Structure 1
């Protein structure tokens, strides 16, 4: 769609700047590592991810939004065979796509090969807004392939895919942010959306805790399927974030990119 990339990028930059500012004003936890090195690494990984998706776009005729437009033109997908009102189709598509991302996230924790990729995200020893963009390029490419396939099967309108991508990126940055919300507000928001305190449990060093709270946007899936843990055992101030590498290695770009291919 015309100007779609510019609109999404503008919203992303605006939300990132807002959340980074709020983190500085009202941080939830003290940082374990200097922000500068982590941010250079996490943004470097994001740049690599952008290049990986550009390469994927060369190999494939369409990415997610393009796939939605193509599916509609060809009449492919469940929603293109139905005559529901447009707003119902948009809501249904967003719910299905969000559940698919939740399920994909759970699977990446259960399948050893996928976990090797996903642990690049979990290895970050601090959680802040940049953790939301710290994913290995191979994982990003595989996730996009899954999304394209789902879009062809579901047949959502392009606007639904765009709205979902904006929601997913925005909520991911929000719930990874090192942001102190009033407890009463956290309790209200997490009934619908994943909050920073809720998602921080998922980044615990303890396996039983990081195998919970898989949601990125909507919190309902964890509550429905019994994967919800409300608070970390050690408390938010004292819990360890990350994995077994509790040193400076996760803040290094080369180490992070090579992590899926190391023996350990």
Structure 2
């Protein structure tokens, strides 16, 4: 593997954790939702899932860049059979990867045997930056393998893979942030990208709202594919977050989260 992309990839965890600290500070400075009685139970469980997921991600992360470089040398994938300037290929590949992750997210909701894995993410009873890190290890593994397949099929240049992975990590934290944005800024931002208000609706206890706003970075896919929900029926500050059957404190323990996909 080329030294340059590999070195940048190894530095990515430092960027991720630096952003995690920054977003956590923003949540303390400009919180939208003020009450979180289960925080002392939620945070250790959510952060423990982060640690487990990080091990899986770091083991597989270099394989994403490695897959992109292998496809480049082998001439495998869509963009290795397209004659276009490198920057055009990189931009289009980035867009296709974002679309692929939209499709994966929607599939996690709509395919019955996938939903129990993703349900762990949605069973959080509050909405903050740690929610964005709360994924079952099985979903983390599945997501990494899906991304690798998408990268190979697209023939994505390594620069597109690297910038998309950084963008995805950035928006995973930002879109789950419990922060209060100025209304005008929020309207401007959601015209292009996913905002916390937009994604908070996706975490609503109401099924119709939960099954909307599947985008990860760009908001346009939801508009184009008829899954956009502009606002929750309840005010964002007061809306009910989570799933009806997973609301008692015992459901927020690490053990409960790990075995939850086995429950009906």
- Paired positions, count: 259
Tell whether the 8 Å contact from 1:99 to 1:221 is kept in structure 2 after alignment.
yes
Matched, 1:89 2:96: no
Contact 1:31–1:126 (Cα < 8 Å) also in 2: no
Decide whether the 8 Å contact of 1:118 with 1:136 is kept in 2: yes
- Paired residues of 1:129 and 1:176 also in contact (CA < 8 A): yes
CA displacement, residues 166-216 of structure 1 (integer Å, 9 cap, x when unaligned): 001101110100010011110000000100000000000010110001111
Q: 1:43 aligns with which of 44, 47, 50?
A: 47
- Partner Cα separation in structure 2 for residue 193 and residue 239 of structure 1: 22
Structure 2 CA distance, aligned partners of 1:159 and 1:10?
19
**Matches of 1:173 and 1:218, distance apart in 2:** 15
Once superposed, what is the RMSD of the aligned Cα atoms? 1.5
Point out the more displaced range, 18-27 or 250-259. 250-259
User: Do the aligned residues in 2 keep the contact of 1:129 with 1:174 (CA within 8 Å)?
Assistant: yes
Shift of 1:55: 6.0
d(CA) in 2 for partners of 1:101 and 1:152? 14
SS at match of 2:175: helix
Distance apart, 1:34 and its partner CA:
3.8
Residue of structure 1 equivalent to 2:173: 173
1:17 matched residue in structure 2: 21
Structure 1 residues 27-79: Cα deviation after superposition (integer angstroms, max 9, x where no partner): 0112333433322111111111233346668xxxx621110011111111111
Separation in 2, partners of 1:109, 1:6: 32
Where do residues 104-123 of structure 1 align in structure 2 (5 Å cutoff)?
Answer: 104-123=104-123
Match for residue 257 of structure 1?
258
3-state secondary structure, aligned to 1:42: helix
Which residue of structure 2 aligns with residue 248 of structure 1?
Answer: 249
Change beyond 3 A, Cα 1:2–1:65:
closer
Q: Name structure 2 gaps, 5 residues minimum.
A: none
- Contact 1:33 / 1:126 at 8 angstroms: preserved in 2? no
Taking the aligned partners of 2:231 and 2:84, their CA distance within structure 1 comes to: 40
- Confirm or deny: 8 A CA contact 1:120 1:136 kept in the other structure: yes
Deviations 1:106-128 (A, max 9, x none): 11111111111000000011111
The aligned counterpart of 2:232 is: 232
* 8 Å Cα contact 1:213-1:227 kept in structure 2: yes
* Normalised TM-score (structure 2): 0.94
Contact 2:65 2:158 in 1 (8 A): yes
The residue number in structure 2 matching 1:4 is 8
TM-score of the pair, normalised by structure 1:
0.94
Where does 1:151-230 land on structure 2 (aligned, <5 Å)?
151-230=151-230
Taking structure 1 as reference, are residues 229 and 136 closer, same or farther at Cα in structure 2, changes over 3 Å only? same
Aligned equivalent of 1:28: 32
Q: Secondary structure at the match of 1:2?
A: helix
Deviation of 1:4 (Å): 2.4
